[in-house]
Structure 1
Amino acid sequence: MLEYRVEARRIDAHGSVAHCKDAEVRLDTDVNGSRDAFNPAEMLLAALAACMIKGIERAAPMLKFGLRGVEVRLHGVRQDAPPRMSDIDYEIVVDTDEDDRRIELLHTNVRKYGTIFNTVSAAAKLSGRMVRKG
């Protein structure tokens, strides 16, 4: 089993910071919000996007999938009672010359082997598509 460690601390009433390895991420923990940091819901979506891109980076060489770039667009809907992310829609845009069947194969790998993808999909309605950059 793999294990992960992140430490976070409050800076002041307007924000916090998380540390992992040699990296630092500013967090929006201000009750009024902050435009220059990710709030917890946005961090969840960013983690999901990172998982998708990392999954593509892992699968592409095994599938011999030609890839020039990837963009992930996410939209999350928050339910109020109880508070939770109820729906997340995504679009993964791949810059590739591969055919539609190969793009769907790559998408299947992202859905099947992503740690964060599988964790989030067990807790919220997660749906989306992978398309060729047009």
Structure 2
Amino acid sequence: MTKKMTFNVVAHRTDAHGSTVTCKDASLVVDTDLQGRADAFNPAELLMAALAACIIKGIERVTPILKFNLQQVEVEISGVRQDAPPKMESIQYRIKVTTDESDHRLDLLHDNVKKFGTVFNTIAPGTDLTGTLIRA
């Protein structure tokens, strides 16, 4: 039986304006203020940031396997929140890859991102998740 990966984070309320999330040796101030704050990610933005990081990490994982040559990757994500019940109704992404690879290889890279991303595959069933991978 394969041992499953586990992940742990701890969040502490700092005050009515924010909280701190810690994991390993890292910490992040997050926006838990009901009025919002410009200097920290709110929970929905953290979700989208996790998706962006998942996409980039997935690309990092498969490029050596596919022998895919790239110079740069940028991920843009936008989302729409539904009020009742509160949830992310839709999330759209655009992955821009600087590469000289063929369009077919770009499609292959995008397929791998969609197939093997942990956060991607967690979000996809409950959200209208759509996007493109394009040449920058």
TM-score range, shorter chain: over 0.9
- Aligned-pair RMSD on alpha carbons? 0.4
Query: Of 90, 102, 106, which residue of structure 2 is paired with 1:103?
Result: 106
SS of the aligned residue for 1:112 comes to helix
Q: Structure 1, unaligned stretches of length 5 or more?
A: none
**Residue in structure 1 matched with residue 121 of structure 2 by the alignment:** 118
**Correspondences of 1:1-134 after superposition (within 5 Å):** 1-133=4-136
What SS does the aligned partner of 1:10 have? strand
Q: TM-score, normalised by structure 2?
A: 0.97
d(CA) in 1 for partners of 2:71, 2:27: 28
Task: Provide Cα deviations, 1:78-102, integer angstroms capped at 9, x if missing partner.
Answer: 0000000010010000011101000
The residue type equivalent to 2:107 in the other structure is E
Identity %: 57
AA paired with 2:119? I
The whole-number CA distance in structure 2 between the counterparts of 1:13 and 1:81 is 24
Question: What amino acid maps onto 1:118 in structure 2?
Answer: N
Deviation >6 Å, runs of 4+: none
Q: Which runs of 5+ in 2 are unaligned?
A: none
Alpha-carbon separation, structure 1, partners of 2:85 and 2:130: 21
TM-score norm. by structure 1 comes to 0.98
- Aligned pairs, how many? 133
State the alpha-carbon separation in 2 of the partners of residues 114 and 52 from structure 1. 7
